[in-house]
Amino acid sequence: MRIALNARILQGPRTGIGHYVAELAGALAAEPDVELALFHGWGWSSVLPEAAMPGYSRLTPLLRKIPGAYQARRWLEQKRFDQGRTQTIDLYHEPSLWPLSFDGPTVITLHDLTHLHYPETQPPARLREIERRLADGVQRASLILTDSQYIADEAQQHFGLPAQRFVVAPLGVASRFRPREAEFIDAVLKAHGVEAREYFLCVGTLEPRKNLTLALRAHARLPEVVRQRFPLLIVGMAGWQHDQFSEELQRALATGHVCLLGYLPDEQVAQLLAGARALIFPSLYEGFGLPVLEAMASGTPVILTRRSAMPEVAGAAGNYIEADDPDGLREAMTRLIDDQAHWQACREVGLQQARLFTWERCATITASAYRQALGG
């Protein structure tokens, strides 16, 4: 079966959905009856593009300012999608939000419903496009893939669709996320001024939904000597309206105990995850929470909120906190510093939990959904 996979998101910096598309495409190569045709927005290819860094395009800021720009780009993409195909496509898979028009079976991946819960995290023009197109795309889809049971249940209720229309395909973890000895990550850690297991790490786009202010407030409540020994590193590019908490972030940065590293190459993120004392992931809402899985696979304990899909990922390995309790987060951080037996237990349970999630399993479930949508 020849599958058209919309890989346009890979033209930009790789965040959650971009990693999903890249890893899924690679894992689907092992499915003997799956042949992928990758649509990259302006044409077709059989090769995944290299990941771009932030600032890769001047188009996105313009789309936020020009009336009708999103619709115009959408129209052009549809024309390219229709005209550029040189071979028959059996099924179209849309991995991000809303599908293009296709006259055959369509499978979509619905990662979350962030636009409903946190519309302020989307530029207004983009939000209008999501609201206008997503419901129609969901109704047209033969099957809807979700990363977690939580999102499947939420989407069933919101769109009024039967459970049979949904297939849960949990995400996997890339091979670069693994335990590493200190000497193999020493160069990257030194470049950022930290020692192995002597810093806390946050990974995520700088936007209000990620709730990074909780991490800032909790870290600020640690004794100064502890903050100096265990700084807080934040990895992630700026999101929409990230200035909502920039003042608090600036105050934290001024102390010298918090470092904003911005968007980093994948390998650097993997090494920083492998060397952290713990990942702090205080997000308010996630369709999965890929950094949680990546940290566990790296042998690093995780502190996270018990919200949305995240307990499905962390299971018993999570150090759970309330999303509005900086003292609770401070206590969780302190225990992972002071109680080595607890830290080691979290590490071991996390490694066991992470082994349950593989991209091979995700690809197998996805390929099975393709066959089901095609009537097989």
Pair 273, 239: CB distance under 8 Å: no
- What domain range is 215 assigned to? 182-354
Whether 20 and 166 map to the same domain: the answer is yes
Overall size of the chain counted in residues: 376
User: E-assigned strands of the chain?
Assistant: 2-6, 35-39, 44-45, 91-94, 106-109, 143-146, 166-168, 200-203, 232-235, 258-262, 278-281, 302-305, 318-321
For the chain, helix, strand, coil in percent to 5 are 50, 15, 35
Between CA 126 and CA 111 the distance in angstroms is 17
The whole-number pLDDT of residue 142 equals 96
Q: How far apart are CA 19 and CA 257, in angstroms?
A: 30
CATH number reported for the structural domain that contains residue 290 in this entry: 3.40.50.2000
Res 24: pLDDT: 97
CA distance 141 to 106: 5
Distance CA 57, CA 367 (A): 33
Does the residue 177 lie in any domain? no
In sequence order, which residues have a C-beta less than 8 Å from that of residue 56 and are 6 or more positions away?
A: 11, 12, 13
Q: How far apart are CA 158 and CA 138, in angstroms?
A: 11
Query: 162 and 29 in one domain?
Result: yes
Q: How far apart are CA 325 and CA 332, in angstroms?
A: 11
Rounded Cα gap, residues 369 and 241, in angstroms: 37
Tell whether 124 and 263 lie within a shared domain: no
Which long-range contacts does 223-230 make (Cβ < 8 Å, 24+ apart)? Answer: 224/257, 226/334, 226/337, 227/255, 227/257, 228/257, 229/198, 230/198, 230/199, 230/200, 230/277, 230/333, 230/337
Let me know if residue 84 belongs to a domain.
yes
Is 155 a member of any domain? Answer: yes
Say if CB 283 and CB 211 are below 8 A apart.
Answer: yes
Same-domain check for residues 235 and 146? no
Q: Of 367, 357, 298, which Cα lies nearest the Cα of 172?
A: 357
Rg for the chain, CA atoms, rounded:
21
- Residue pair 24/359 in contact by the 8 Å Cβ criterion: yes
Q: Residue 158: what are its φ and ψ, rounded to 5°?
A: -70, -45
**Same domain, residue pair 95 and 67:** yes
The span from the CA of 224 to the CA of 257, in Å, is 9
Same domain, 237 and 102: no
Place of tokens 């996805």: 366
* Residue-level pLDDT, tens digit, the chain, 376 residues: 999 999 998 887 777 899 999 999 999 999 999 999 999 888 888 888 776 655 544 455 555 556 677 678 888 889 999 887 767 899 999 998 789 999 999 999 999 998 888 887 777 877 888 888 888 999 999 999 999 999 999 999 999 999 999 999 999 999 999 999 999 999 999 999 999 999 999 999 888 889 999 999 999 999 999 999 999 999 988 765 555 557 788 888 888 899 999 999 999 999 999 999 999 999 999 999 999 999 999 999 999 999 999 999 999 999 999 999 999 999 999 999 999 999 999 999 999 999 999 999 999 999 999 999 999 6
pTM exceeds 0.85, yes or no: yes
Asked whether residue 156 falls in the same domain as residue 194, the answer is no
Within a domain: residue 156? yes
Are residues 345 and 364 both part of a single domain?
no
Taking alpha carbons only, the member of 51, 95, 56, 57 closest to residue 267 is: 51
Phi first, then psi, for residue 139 (nearest 5°) are -65, -35
Residue 22 lies in a domain: yes
- Residue 76: alpha-carbon gap to chain centroid: 27
Alpha-carbon distances of 188 from 50, 66, 184, 191, 273, rounded to whole Å: 22, 41, 9, 5, 11
- The count of structural domains within the chain is 2
Do residue 147 and residue 75 come from a single domain?
Answer: yes
The phi and psi torsions of 194 (rounded to 5 degrees) equal: -130, 165
pLDDT, residue 252, reads 85
How is residue 299 annotated by DSSP? T
Q: Looking at the structure, do residues 160 and 39 belong to the same domain, yes or no?
A: yes
Q: Look at residue 129 in the predicted model and tell me its pLDDT.
A: 80
Whether 144 and 279 map to the same domain: the answer is no
- The residue behind tokens 């909502």 is 244
Q: Does residue 286 sit within a domain?
A: yes
Between β-strands 35-39 and 2-6, what pairing exists: parallel, antiparallel or unpaired?
parallel
Same structural domain, 14 and 144: yes
